[in-house]
Amino acid sequence: MSGVQDVEAKPGANAIFMVWGIDDYPKAKEVVSKITGELEALVRSRLNRFPGSETGAVMGFGAQAWAQLFPNRSVPPELEVFKEIKGEKHVAPSTPGDLFFHIRSSRMDICQELAAVISLDLSEVAHSLDETQGFRFFDSRALIGFVDGTENPESLNATQFARIAGDKLFAKSEEFLFGSYALVQKYLHDMKAWEKLPVEEQEKVIGRHKFDDRELTDDLKPENAHNAVTNISDENGEELKIVRANMPFANPSKGEFGTYFIGYSGKFSTTKRMLENMFIGDPPGNTDRLLEFSTPITGTLFFVPSATLLSQLAEED
């Protein structure tokens, strides 16, 4: 793997997530072409300088940016402006975003250097909508104390679920094959309320044991447990999955503790169904109890081209 557009990679020890809004699309075209053309080399340089650093970068495009920057190309079939999902009690908001970068490494200084190089170019034609720095918390746990990403598919299965497969009827065009849809949400946790819950009650909210990460048995797991409402299947009963690259983030002096959620999927409809189950419920009203303690403040959908397509985009007229 080149380290670019590697959506199946483990979350890693450190990450920087950047969402940008483009100010001037005609002027931005040249800058974006430069970044898409150089990103693989930028990552490879750091892998050569720091072997074993597990450095990688993912670049994604929002629906409006794709249409404006690449008007001669068709649109990925499920790329759209993310629509707010509103239930009776909870809301998954929709927030703007044209470009998305997910930079990860075993070293934060490498993440910082790579983010700075990209930002120096982009700052001429775009403005930062959000930058979040993620970190590994103990043994890959969220700040609420439970292991995150337990349900992720492994190895070849991860590719099957994370990337657009070779189904041309669905993909509409071969150019989008092996790309991915990335839904990003920034969740803030009410740690004071969460920590008042006894551990056994926390386990019922998540659907797993806190210490050893074992799944609760069916007789102990409530229907509104987090891992119950996000467990979905297709019409044939086959379980549908996404690849999560979630990372904790925090600003303790401001009382901010959260999780940066990323769902990489070959079909955004899979991620969307999970969110609808969480925020609306199936049946309606059976909402994810974790939302009583975790509130999303962003929500944006991006298309992540394959590494091959990303390099081709640099040559667009």
Tokens of 217: 């048995």
Nearest-angstrom CA–CA distance, 119 and 110: 14
Catalytic residue among 6, 98, 139, 148: 148
148 labelled catalytic: yes
Residues designated as active site: 148
